[in-house]
Chains A and B, each alone.
Chain A
Amino acid sequence: MTADTPHELAPYLDEPPQLRAGAFGKDARLLLRFERRGGRSILAEMVRKAPLLVQKALYCDEGMPGLPVVFIITNSGGILQGDRYAMDFAVGPGAIGHVTTQAATKIHEMDANHATQVQEIRLDDGGYLEYLPEAVIPFARSRFLTRTRIRIAPTATLLYAETLMGGRKYYGDGERFRFDLFSSTVAAERPTGESLFVEKFLIEPGRSPVFRPGVMDDFDVFGNVILLTPRAIADAVAPRAVSAWNKADGWAAGVGRLPNDAGLIYKVVARESSVVRARIRDFWSLVRPEVTGRPVPPEFAWR
């Protein structure tokens, strides 16, 4: 344990009996850089190291045919004990990009060590990035820590949505928030280093109950959508974002204004992931036209 090891990892530092933590095959690296060249945006740089893989950018978004879309693939079937992932997304001046994952990120049960993921996201002037990964599903006894640092120019826009499920809700007798640790920090700043906001979730259901009023109540899925954008776009999106407490249909959502004029944060809780997904898509459908003038197309039937 080093001085900068977060305190919550202290109980989970034992070496796995199989591959040691961070060994070859467990130290995924992914670097994606979008750039604007000759009037269009391309995936100009791609560095990958298994188990995280990317094939190539696809121009498959019917609402925005000029948008390079990247699917992150994994060949390990999920995150395992001792995994150390690092991802780096950069969007150059005036470039656009969309990053998503091929499937939900499964964080497997652990009996030694933990897994970490470090993300660096950088957007230059006028850049636009949609980072909308599929849900994260932490299995019982998993321990996961993720840290995301965002550096964003004042004229750029980042839409970043995370969906956290409590586990495999319908597996066995129901796996609802039975993981050991889920720690997630997102910190955003300007390229000058000026801080915009910080959000750290620390979820240790064994120590601090999740199903109580104010925390998850009796909801099972949590969606957290961060929109870092110039004030005019935030002003246009905020009043139209669906904010409601709809207990009958099993969801609640609300939009808030981030400090330092950084943009908006949209939070959704629901009993089922499909509802969170629909709310996030609604919000995304407000943001994209406001930023780019292009629509979000109807969802593919098989996604």
Chain B
Amino acid sequence: MNIVVAIKHIPSIADDLPVKGNNVDFDSVDFVLNEFDEQSIEQAVLVKESVGGTVTVIGVDLIGELDNVLHLALAKGADKAVKITGDDPSADSHTQAKWLSEAIKGLSPDIVFAGVQASNDLDGQIGPLLAAHLDMPYIGGVSSVGVSGDTATVSKEFAGGVGAKYAVTLPMVVGVQAASKPPRYAPISKVRQIAQTATVEKVAPSGDASSGLTFKKMAPPVAAGHAEMIEGSSKEVAAKIVELLKSKGLA
């Protein structure tokens, strides 16, 4: 089985996000692996461990440091690593999805995993865009994937604690929210060993697609006003809320 994991290298939000002009100051921010991609790598490796196959991890190298992330993925059980030499830290989700799908086509995948979203892709575009480009079905918000023959059994979470199970005929693109087990830890000695021996395949970006959006302004959010905490017994609180709603003309 050919399993592909599309990953994103994103600016770390462990630091305060520095702003320069109309965008993030990419020179003074660290790049990290999208945390949902950690889940999707784990889910991909779990699938491989249960039914066999190869896991190929692929991502766009935005700042020339993607190797670190790819080595980590290899240490966690991926078999092959590919980087698309994008070299543009401002490449948006549409651009990345196009480049990724062009490279993934050549890998003839049975399943493509992607993180359901990223902190710079909160509306989760990568997965659906990949599916569209690859002409495959997409299912997102997934919390476990099991494969048997050419059918995958996928658990998807909905709001309000509701879940559903789908049987999907392969191939497909999956947006992973959480792997069925917590991502494993890759010991650094193993990562470093892989860093010395592994080869990362390089692919030039091909195709062009952008969101068509341009940034007008980017600024850190400014705190304005505070929430008012209503205290007292539940009856008192309810009464105050009713009063407030009335005073605002909402009831």
Q: Are chains A and B native binding partners rather than an unrelated pairing?
A: no
Q: Which residues of B contact A (CB under 8 A)?
A: none
User: Interface of A with B (CB < 8 Å)?
Assistant: none
